[in-house]
Amino acid sequence: MRSTFLRAPARSAARPDFLERQFKRYHPRYQGAVRALAARHARIADLALSFPTLLFALAAPRRGIDPARALALAIDGAALAEVAAAADVPLWLRRFPPEALACPLAKLPNGKAFRRRIANHLPSRKVAPVWLKAVSEMAELADEPIALWIAGEIARDMESVKLDRLRRVGLWAWFSKQFLAFGSRLTAKRWEPNLRFRSALDAADDWHTTIELHLNLGREPIADPWLRPAHVCGYDFQPLSSASAIAEEAAAMRNCLRTYGGDLAHNGSRLWSMRRNGQRVATLRVAFWNREPLPNVVELKGPENAHAPLEVWWAARQWLNTYDVSRVTPQGHRWGSVPLDRATWISLWRPYWVTKGRIPAWLPLAPSRRALEAL
């Protein structure tokens, strides 16, 4: 015996005028398909009243979905839950307005916790198409709790959500929850359900900067720091030759040092830390200024990028002058010609590939600067 829970109505037909008003609520591009499907049987037509989204999904199925079984169940008078399951349409969409359906329905999350809470995050009709797309993408990219979060953020304030940054935010949020993964250890801030999108984007950008540094430099220290550590005028000059050393200096000095990974990998400059009695005083960058043949101190900043005092500059110049800088002749590389570190790339993304059971085209197996920049 079939359950009567959410059973599709068995009327011979719904009121034609009311049905017509329902059909007109669908997007003009799909009204013809919806009407044609509804004309096949009264029980299918009744879906326009009982479950408008399900009727739409059967009339305009997404790629890979065959609506034949769901249609047969509907005609047979099966429960709506059974028909919806056959069409892979979540029941929480039952009250979704037809106006919200502007393209074939993507696969959407349907876990128990998600179904229980999604009613609190349903969007207005105006933003519903964007909302549906974002929720689907975030569920596939990350997981259902993160998809529920983005649903709430879009419903709360659509303007604050940068839709073109969802991939970076979703990937950061997913990794921030994988406590044993390498990518998780590089997150300075963890995703939480109460985060506003702006804060999440800032954290994701910060994480992207850190992983970019590690991918550029790899696991081994820079082999040639150009100059040598020394103690000059009371200051210790120490090379920043690894991703971890640079990240520590950046955190301690509250500066943007982590953004120099690409420049270092292409032999554009070298970074050094100036310390006095073990305390960090300034960070300096040695490079070739305006195509000059000799290296120079081109940047020297104190904490939070403050201007370094004269005595610090004097010590830095004295340190540089203790060397025969004419022998510093690094071979520069055309930008983009130095590959990212393969071992670091695979170590970083492997947990994601394994968990998702796929290697998406936007996150390929081979290291790619283009893919990294596009995240």
Half-sphere exposure of 245 (CA within 13 A, CB side): 17
The predicted model gives 326-349 an average pLDDT of 93
Residue 300 is assigned to a structural domain of this protein: yes
Q: Output DSSP code: residue 309.
A: P
Nearest to 287 by CA among 277, 276, 295: 295
In angstroms, rounded to a whole number, what is the distance separating the alpha carbons of residues 287 and 274? Answer: 16
CA distances from 25 to 48, 56, 80, 103 (A): 10, 11, 21, 14
- Are 344 and 219 a contacting pair, CB within 8 Å? yes
Residue indicated by tokens 């011979």: 12
Model pLDDT, residue 14: 45
10: tokens are: 């068995």
168: tokens are: 């970076």
185: tokens are: 């250890």
Model pLDDT, residue 12: 43
73: tokens are: 């169940």
Backbone angles phi, psi at 299, to 5 degrees: -145, 140
**Beta bridge partners of residue 284, listed in sequence order:** 272, 300
- Are 201 and 171 a contacting pair, CB within 8 Å? no
Number of continuous H segments (helices) and E segments (strands) in the chain: 17, 5
All residues at 6 or more sequence positions from 191 whose CB lies less than 8 Å from its CB, including other chains: 146, 149, 172, 173, 176, 177, 200, 203
The predicted model gives 131-135 an average pLDDT of 95
- For the stretch 261-316, pLDDT in tens is 999 999 999 999 999 999 999 999 999 988 889 999 999 999 999 999 999 999 99
Question: Three-state DSSP class for 125?
Answer: coil
| Domain termination residue (choose one: 100, 124, 155) | 100
Residue 208 is assigned to a structural domain of this protein: no
Residue 239 is assigned to a structural domain of this protein: yes
| Mean pLDDT over the full length of the chain | 93
Report the range of poorest mean pLDDT among 12-21, 29-38, 109-118, 288-297. Answer: 12-21
Nearest to 364 by CA among 372, 301, 252: 372
With b meaning 16 or more CB within 10 Å and e meaning fewer, what string describes 231-241?
Answer: ebeebbbbbbb
Residue 358 is assigned to a structural domain of this protein: no
pLDDT bracket for residue 15 (50, 70, 90):
low
Residue 3 is assigned to a structural domain of this protein: yes
| Domain termination residue (choose one: 47, 65, 100) | 100
Residue 223 is assigned to a structural domain of this protein: no
| Domain termination residue (choose one: 73, 100, 127) | 100
- For the stretch 139-153, pLDDT in tens is 999 999 999 999 999
Q: Output DSSP code: residue 181.
A: S
Residue 258 is assigned to a structural domain of this protein: yes
- Alpha-helical (H) ranges within the chain are 16-25, 28-38, 42-50, 52-59, 68-75, 80-87, 112-117, 128-141, 144-156, 166-176, 182-185, 197-217, 243-253, 261-265, 310-321, 342-356, 369-374
Provide the number of structural domains found in the chain.
2
Helix (H) or strand (E) holding 239: strand 235-239
Helix (H) or strand (E) holding 266: none
Does 4 or 53 have the greater pLDDT score?
A: 53
The neighbour count for residue 47, using CB atoms within 10 Å, is 29
The predicted model gives 321-344 an average pLDDT of 91
Q: What is the CATH number of the domain that holds 244?
A: 3.40.630.30
- For the stretch 81-125, pLDDT in tens is 999 999 999 999 998 999 989 999 999 999 999 999 999 999 988
In angstroms, rounded to a whole number, what is the distance separating the alpha carbons of residues 246 and 122? Answer: 44
All residues at 6 or more sequence positions from 213 whose CB lies less than 8 Å from its CB, including other chains: 243, 246, 247, 258, 259, 260, 261
Please report, rounded to a whole number, the percentage of residues in the chain having pLDDT higher than 70: 96
Burial of 304 (0-12, 13-18, 19+ CB in 10 A): exposed
Backbone angles phi, psi at 245, to 5 degrees: -65, -40
Residue 93 is assigned to a structural domain of this protein: yes
Range of the domain at 11: 1-100
Reply yes or no on whether the pLDDT at 197 is more than 80: yes
Q: Specify the pTM.
A: 0.89
Q: Output DSSP code: residue 163.
A: G
The predicted model gives 232-243 an average pLDDT of 97
